[in-house]
């Protein structure tokens, strides 16, 4: 008994020693990583007007993790060296769940990199978010189109400056096949449809289509409808559609659905329409290089599903063109996604970091950090096109950074999950698989809309 | 002594009945089948952690047995300060953090709970039963509802109107701020388990000690504590596994202070935003598993004994 008691006590005291040693270790590791690299910094790349604030740290809380986060650290190194403000890029895959807890619990970060406009509104409603300082607002007004500053605003007050952006409004085609048959890249919707008629007359399949995606089957079709809605009706109707002020069965959406049906639901262009519902979205792109089908509306990521050995270039096996607009009233409609910097305090260091992140210098540094593979683009019009080393990024950035562009967020992602990840998918799958009338599909989705939204 | 033997007799019979039930051939085979099926995913993960990245994405882990290309690349990547992991100093600082969080978060509740359990079981005072039932009832409070209020207490204190009831503790984002919630949420179950065990100790022992002039503290230290080792060890396993594997409390209370994040909070991040480095998850998951395995196997002989503590009277 006495021995076991001794052991227990001994175990206790050695555990305390471990804790102390470990705590010291953590402290030393923490301090050693806070070194300053002033020597290699090029302050011309950071911009002017920043006050030096040594010893300050601004936390940026983000959903970005892993090697992508390392690139953020690389890109902000010059800013830290020149202003003394350390940026603590704190990435968490639980970002969406953690941010509300941290904000309401009183441990809000200095800045949060929010990927959904809905979450910005939710954070502003807590009363803890602070409106963007004037320098940030000036940058966004100068470098971004008005639709971007609207997305970062809540009830008319501007809060969040955009960070990166991505573009969905792309059509894949094969430059080699187009050259072979003498087709050109269309710049208007009418041209695109006229050329599709020509392809159909020549016995070709003008459009590839596939909306199969396991449990998420139907999502590519939601993108088709979204592209048409913003092209025909503009951003206001589009954003009201997200909030269900405009219903699926209202005239603009029904009209857009009919347009989609005359395009992707047109057996003249796609062959047997019902096969769209059974073809996976990855398989849809495989016909592009060989000319099995001529065009496919899909975002840039689908390049990964091209057959091995396909050359992605403006003269190669596969390339993209911008899905042209329909109504002349809607200038350069683009659908995509993006992230926004939302601030939770107005400390001088936070404001300075926020201002830097809204500058072209930041976007340029971040694009350079991405390297030749690219994958990071900004809608900041202050970024010279030559900054992009990846041609696909350069093409996307051209439309995103157009000062007149009408940028809208992916609607199905912004709608309640019961619709955007549910009724809309199943409804559209039914639409393409069975040719269910447009009005029936629309009514069914409307009736599934959760009460109180 | 005769009293002890008499107490033991029915227990032994129970034990034999149990042995009969679980000792049959059919039961043994069933248990083995369950054990094997249960272990297959872990085995697959273990095999995967030694396979090269290209092969992991090309084919399943069972190909490991046909083409055993072993590599330690996945392990070296998570410990070295590389760019792939997105963690500047490798995972070692976070492994240490996990220990710094877990060890006190196990010691604190056990120390408090053992004393409280002794008190509630053997020191009679007015309302001790009510207090015990109150503590027991606290188990039904789910941890999730308390997270944000607790965090608010740590960062802002408690105010009624303009009157400060509790000042801001300013311990969010420190180790104390994680030890405290873990201790709080462990106490009801710990006190309940240890109370049941300690209250079933033979009364004669305590009375004999009292007659010899032992104070409560002496009885606790010289009699109760040594006899309670199985129960304490069982709860140590419970609490260690719970705290070591905990993500929710860690994420909530470490807040933005990345320097005190446990390994758990960093694991998923290793795979990258688009999951392009998920081979790193296999090796880091194993680093994560090794410690609880050591704890479990070194204390497991107490486990079943401790689990049954107080349940058979």
What is the maximum span of chain A, computed from C-alpha positions, in angstroms?
A: 97
Q: State residue B307's pLDDT score.
A: 59
Q: Strand, helix or coil at B99?
A: helix
> CB contact, 8 Å: B144 with chain A?
no
- Whether residue B147 and residue A29 make contact (CB cut-off 8 A), yes or no, is no
Helices in B140-219 by DSSP H: which ranges?
143-156, 176-199, 203-211, 216-219
Domain co-membership, B116 together with B250: yes
Share of chain A above pLDDT 90, in %: 64
Share of chain B above pLDDT 70, in %: 85
Tell whether the model's pLDDT for residue B76 goes beyond 50: yes
Q: State residue A13's pLDDT score.
A: 46
Cβ(A313)–Cβ(A391) under 8 Å? yes
Query: If you ran DSSP here, which 8-state letter would residue A282 be given?
Result: H
Q: Phi/psi at B81 (nearest 5 deg)?
A: -85, 75
In sequence order, what are the beta bridge partners of A99? none
- Whether residue B251 and residue A23 make contact (CB cut-off 8 A), yes or no, is no
Minimal C-alpha gap between A280 and chain B (Å): 21
- Name, of A98-102, A229-233, B143-147, the range with top average pLDDT: A229-233
Domain count, chain B: 2
Tell whether the model's pLDDT for residue A405 goes beyond 60: yes
Nearest to B226 among A5, A29, A66 (CB): A5
Other CB atoms closer than 10 Å to residue A32's CB: what's the count?
9
Tell whether the model's pLDDT for residue A373 goes beyond 50: yes
Cβ(A89)–Cβ(A112) under 8 Å? no
Name the residue of chain A whose CA is nearest to B225's CA.
A5
Domain co-membership, B206 together with B276: yes
> CB contact, 8 Å: B152 with chain A?
yes
Tell whether the model's pLDDT for residue A28 goes beyond 70: no
Rounded distance, CA B259 to CA A133, Å? 30
Q: Phi/psi at A416 (nearest 5 deg)?
A: -55, 145
Q: Strand, helix or coil at B150?
A: helix
Rounded distance, CA A434 to CA A439, Å? 14
Minimal C-alpha gap between B239 and chain A (Å): 15
CATH number of the domain residue B286 falls in: 1.10.3720.10
Q: Which of B78, B82, B86, B221 to mutate to test the interface with A (most CBs of A within 10 A)?
A: B86
Q: State residue A322's pLDDT score.
A: 95
Q: For residues A94 and B57, which has the higher predicted lDDT (pLDDT)? A: A94
Name the residue of chain A whose CA is nearest to B175's CA.
A23
- Whether residue A26 and residue B152 make contact (CB cut-off 8 A), yes or no, is no
CA dist list (Å): A264 to A102, A203, A221: 45, 17, 9
The CA radius of gyration of chain B, in Å to the nearest whole number, is: 24
Those residues whose C-beta lies under 8 Å from the C-beta of residue A93, and which sit 6 or more positions away, are A63, A65, B268, B269
Rounded distance, CA B79 to CA A149, Å? 43
Q: State residue B87's pLDDT score.
A: 66
Rounded distance, CA B289 to CA A61, Å? 28
Tokens representing A96? 């969406």
Q: Residues of B74-94 as b/e, b for ≥16 C-beta within 10 angstroms?
A: bbebbbeebebbbbeebbbbb
Domain co-membership, B56 together with B166: no
Q: For residues A36 and B54, which has the higher predicted lDDT (pLDDT)? A: B54
Q: Which of A14, A17, A63, A66 to mutate to test the interface with B (most CBs of B within 10 A)?
A: A66
Nearest to B273 among A29, A65, A106 (CB): A65
- Whether residue B256 and residue A109 make contact (CB cut-off 8 A), yes or no, is yes
Q: Phi/psi at A282 (nearest 5 deg)?
A: -70, -40
Average pLDDT over residues B289-307: 80
Name the residue of chain A whose CA is nearest to B220's CA.
A5
Name the residue of chain A whose CA is nearest to B232's CA.
A8
Q: Whats the size of chain A, residue-wise?
A: 453
Domain co-membership, B112 together with B224: yes
- Whether residue B156 and residue A70 make contact (CB cut-off 8 A), yes or no, is no
**Residue A18 burial (CB < 10 Å; 0-12/13-18/19+)?**
middle
**Is residue B42 one of the residues assigned to a domain?**
yes
Average pLDDT over residues B125-142: 90
> CB contact, 8 Å: B151 with chain A?
yes
> CB contact, 8 Å: B252 with chain A?
yes
Q: State residue B15's pLDDT score.
A: 56
Domain co-membership, B285 together with B141: yes
Tell whether the model's pLDDT for residue B83 goes beyond 60: no
B217 vs A contacts (CB less than 8 Å):
none
In sequence order, what are the beta bridge partners of A176? none
Nearest to B96 among A22, A104, A106 (CB): A22
**Is residue B240 one of the residues assigned to a domain?**
yes
Q: What is the pTM of this model?
A: 0.78
Minimal C-alpha gap between A20 and chain B (Å): 8
Q: For residues B253 and A431, which has the higher predicted lDDT (pLDDT)? A: A431
Q: State residue A453's pLDDT score.
A: 57
Cβ(A248)–Cβ(A437) under 8 Å? no
Domain co-membership, B199 together with B105: yes
Cβ(A340)–Cβ(A162) under 8 Å? yes
> CB contact, 8 Å: B100 with chain A?
yes
Q: State residue B96's pLDDT score.
A: 92
Tell whether the model's pLDDT for residue A26 goes beyond 60: no
Domain co-membership, B26 together with B155: no
Q: Phi/psi at A58 (nearest 5 deg)?
A: -110, 125
Residue B23's domain spans which residues?
16-71
Name the residue of chain A whose CA is nearest to B281's CA.
A66
A105 vs B contacts (CB less than 8 Å):
147-148, 151-152, 154-155, 172, 252, 255
Lowest-confidence pick of A53-57, A241-245, B17-21, B57-61: B17-21
**Is residue B3 one of the residues assigned to a domain?**
no
- Name, of A368-377, B134-143, B266-275, the range with top average pLDDT: B134-143
| ipTM reported for the complex, 2 dp | 0.76
Q: State residue B85's pLDDT score.
A: 57
E-strand stretches of B53-179: 158-160, 163-166
Minimal C-alpha gap between B89 and chain A (Å): 8
A30 vs B contacts (CB less than 8 Å):
93, 259
Tokens representing B56? 């992991």
**Is residue B225 one of the residues assigned to a domain?**
yes
CA dist list (Å): B20 to B13, B14, B28, B30, B67: 11, 10, 11, 15, 45
**Is residue B83 one of the residues assigned to a domain?**
no
Tens-digit pLDDT profile for residues A176-207: 999 999 999 999 999 999 999 999 999 999 99
Domain co-membership, B64 together with B197: no
Tens-digit pLDDT profile for residues B192-230: 999 998 998 888 888 899 899 989 999 999 889 988 988
B107 vs A contacts (CB less than 8 Å):
12, 15
Minimal C-alpha gap between B187 and chain A (Å): 19
E-strand stretches of A344-432: 406-409
Lowest-confidence pick of A224-238, B202-216, B298-312: B298-312
- Using alpha carbons, select from A249, A232, A228 the residue that is nearest to residue A439: A249
Q: Which of B85, B255, B277, B295 to mutate to test the interface with A (most CBs of A within 10 A)?
A: B255
Q: State residue B4's pLDDT score.
A: 43
Q: Which of A20, A74, A106, A370 to mutate to test the interface with B (most CBs of B within 10 A)?
A: A106
Minimal C-alpha gap between A59 and chain B (Å): 7
Query: If you ran DSSP here, which 8-state letter would residue B222 be given?
Result: I
Other CB atoms closer than 10 Å to residue B160's CB: what's the count?
7
Name the residue of chain A whose CA is nearest to B169's CA.
A106
Q: Strand, helix or coil at B85?
A: coil
Average pLDDT over residues A106-130: 91
> CB contact, 8 Å: B107 with chain A?
yes
Domain co-membership, B51 together with B143: no
Average pLDDT, chain B: 83
**Is residue B313 one of the residues assigned to a domain?**
no
Those residues whose C-beta lies under 8 Å from the C-beta of residue B32, and which sit 6 or more positions away, are none
Q: How confident is the model at residue B88 (pLDDT cuts 50, 70, 90)?
A: low
Q: Strand, helix or coil at A413?
A: helix
Tell whether the model's pLDDT for residue A10 goes beyond 60: no
Minimal C-alpha gap between B20 and chain A (Å): 33
Cβ(A188)–Cβ(A324) under 8 Å? yes
- Whether residue A26 and residue B154 make contact (CB cut-off 8 A), yes or no, is no
Q: State residue B78's pLDDT score.
A: 84
Domain co-membership, B21 together with B152: no
Q: How confident is the model at residue A24 (pLDDT cuts 50, 70, 90)?
A: very low
Cβ(A321)–Cβ(A185) under 8 Å? yes
Q: How confident is the model at residue A4 (pLDDT cuts 50, 70, 90)?
A: very low
Domain boundary among B5, B37, B71: B71
Q: How confident is the model at residue A378 (pLDDT cuts 50, 70, 90)?
A: very high
Minimal C-alpha gap between A396 and chain B (Å): 20
Tens-digit pLDDT profile for residues A141-169: 999 998 899 889 998 999 999 999 989 99
Tokens representing A414? 């912004």
> CB contact, 8 Å: B274 with chain A?
yes
**Is residue B226 one of the residues assigned to a domain?**
yes
Q: State residue A228's pLDDT score.
A: 96
Tell whether the model's pLDDT for residue B3 goes beyond 90: no
- Whether residue B256 and residue A18 make contact (CB cut-off 8 A), yes or no, is no
Tell whether the model's pLDDT for residue B291 goes beyond 60: yes
Tell whether the model's pLDDT for residue B179 goes beyond 60: yes
- Using alpha carbons, select from A99, A117, A118 the residue that is nearest to residue A109: A99
Rounded distance, CA B184 to CA B181, Å? 5
Helix (H) or strand (E) holding A343, with range, is: strand A333-343
Domain co-membership, B32 together with B109: no
Domain co-membership, B234 together with B115: yes
Average pLDDT over residues A323-344: 93
Cβ(A82)–Cβ(A41) under 8 Å? yes
Cβ(B3)–Cβ(B207) under 8 Å? no
Please report the domains of chain A, with CATH numbers, ordered by start residue: 50-167+335-408 (3.40.190.10), 170-331+414-447 (3.40.190.10)
Q: Strand, helix or coil at A436?
A: coil
- Whether residue B147 and residue A91 make contact (CB cut-off 8 A), yes or no, is no
B98 vs A contacts (CB less than 8 Å):
none
Those residues whose C-beta lies under 8 Å from the C-beta of residue B300, and which sit 6 or more positions away, are B237
Other CB atoms closer than 10 Å to residue A188's CB: what's the count?
12
Q: Strand, helix or coil at B132?
A: helix
Q: Strand, helix or coil at A33?
A: coil
Q: How confident is the model at residue A66 (pLDDT cuts 50, 70, 90)?
A: confident
**Is residue B312 one of the residues assigned to a domain?**
no
Rounded distance, CA A94 to CA A61, Å? 11
């Amino acid at each position: 008994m006495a021995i076991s008691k001794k052991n227990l006590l001994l175990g206790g005291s050695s555990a305390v020693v471990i804790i102390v040693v470990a705590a010291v270790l953590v402290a030393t590791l923490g301090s050693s990583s806070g070194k300053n690299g002033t020597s290699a910094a090029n302050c011309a790349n950071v911009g002017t007007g920043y006050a030096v604030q040594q010893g300050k740290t601004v936390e940026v809380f983000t959903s970005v993790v892993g090697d992508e986060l390392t690139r953020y650290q690389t890109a902000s190194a010059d800013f830290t060296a020149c202003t003394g403000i350390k940026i603590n890029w704190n990435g968490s895959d639980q970002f969406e769940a953690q941010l509300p807890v941290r904000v309401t619990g009183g441990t809000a970060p200095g800045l949060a990199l929010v990927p959904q406009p809905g979450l910005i509104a939710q954070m502003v409603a807590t009363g803890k978010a602070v409106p963007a300082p004037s320098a940030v607002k000036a940058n966004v007004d100068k470098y971004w189109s008005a639709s971007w500053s609207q997305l970062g605003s809540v009830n008319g007050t501007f809060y969040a400056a955009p960070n990166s952006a991505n573009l969905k409004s792309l059509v894949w085609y094969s430059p080699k096949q187009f050259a072979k048959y003498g087709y050109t890249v269309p710049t208007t919707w009418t041209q695109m449809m006229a050329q599709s008629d020509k392809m159909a007359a020549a016995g070709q399949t003008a459009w590839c289509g596939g909306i199969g995606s396991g449990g998420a089957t139907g999502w590519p079709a939601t993108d088709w409808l979204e592209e048409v809605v913003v092209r025909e009706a503009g951003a206001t109707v589009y954003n009201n559609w997200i909030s269900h002020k405009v219903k699926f069965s209202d005239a603009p959406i029904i009209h857009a659905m009919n347009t989609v049906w005359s395009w992707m639901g047109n057996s003249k262009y796609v062959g047997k329409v019902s096969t769209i519902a059974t073809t996976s979205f990855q398989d849809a792109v495989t016909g592009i290089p060989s000319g099995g089908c001529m065009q496919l509306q899909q975002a840039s990521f689908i390049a990964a599903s091209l057959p091995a050995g396909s050359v992605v270039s403006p003269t190669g096996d596969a390339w993209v063109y911008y899905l042209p607009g329909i109504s002349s009233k809607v200038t350069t409609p683009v659908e995509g996604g993006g992230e926004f910097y939302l601030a939770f305090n107005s400390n001088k260091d936070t404001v300075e970091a926020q201002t830097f992140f809204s500058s072209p210098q930041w976007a340029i540094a971040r694009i350079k950090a991405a390297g030749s593979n690219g994958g990071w683009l900004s809608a900041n019009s202050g970024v010279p096109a030559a900054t992009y080393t990846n041609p696909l990024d350069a093409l996307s950035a051209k439309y995103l950074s157009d000062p007149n562009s009408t940028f809208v967020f992916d609607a199905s992602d912004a709608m309640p999950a019961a619709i955007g990840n549910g009724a809309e998918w199943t409804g559209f799958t039914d639409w393409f698989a069975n040719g269910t009338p447009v009005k029936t599909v629309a009514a069914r989705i409307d009736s599934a809309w959760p009460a109180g939204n | 002594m005769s009293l002890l033997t008499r107490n033991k007799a029915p227990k032994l019979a129970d034990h034999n009945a149990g042995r009969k039930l679980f000792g049959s051939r059919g039961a043994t085979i069933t248990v083995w089948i369950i054990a094997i099926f249960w272990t297959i995913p872990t085995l697959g993960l273990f095999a995967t952690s030694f396979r090269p990245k290209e092969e992991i994405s090309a084919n399943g882990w069972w190909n490991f047995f046909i083409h055993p290309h072993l590599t330690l690349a996945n392990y070296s990547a998570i410990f070295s300060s590389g760019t792939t992991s997105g963690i500047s100093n490798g995972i070692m600082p976070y492994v240490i953090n996990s220990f710094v969080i877990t060890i006190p978060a196990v010691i604190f509740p056990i120390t408090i709970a053992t004393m409280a359990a002794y008190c509630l079981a053997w020191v009679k005072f007015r309302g001790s039963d009510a207090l015990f039932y109150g503590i027991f009832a606290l188990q039904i409070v789910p941890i999730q509802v308390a997270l944000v209020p607790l965090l608010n207490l740590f960062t802002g204190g408690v105010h009624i109107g303009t009157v400060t009831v509790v000042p801001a503790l300013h311990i969010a984002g420190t180790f104390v701020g994680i030890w405290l919630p873990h201790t709080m949420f462990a106490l009801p179950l710990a006190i309940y388990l240890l109370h049941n065990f300690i209250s079933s100790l033979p009364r004669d022992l305590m009375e004999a000690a009292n007659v010899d002039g032992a104070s409560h503290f002496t009885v606790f230290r010289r009699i109760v504590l040594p006899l309670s080792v199985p129960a304490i060890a069982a709860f140590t396993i419970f609490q260690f596994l719970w705290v070591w594997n905990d993500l929710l409390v860690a994420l909530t209370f470490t807040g933005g202070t990345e320097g005190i994040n446990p390994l758990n909070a960093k694991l998923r991040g290793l795979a990258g935003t688009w999951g392009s480095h998920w081979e790193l998850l296999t090796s880091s998951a194993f680093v994560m598993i090794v410690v609880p395995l050591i704890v479990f196997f070194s204390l497991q002989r107490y486990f079943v004994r401790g689990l049954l503590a107080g349940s058979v009277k």
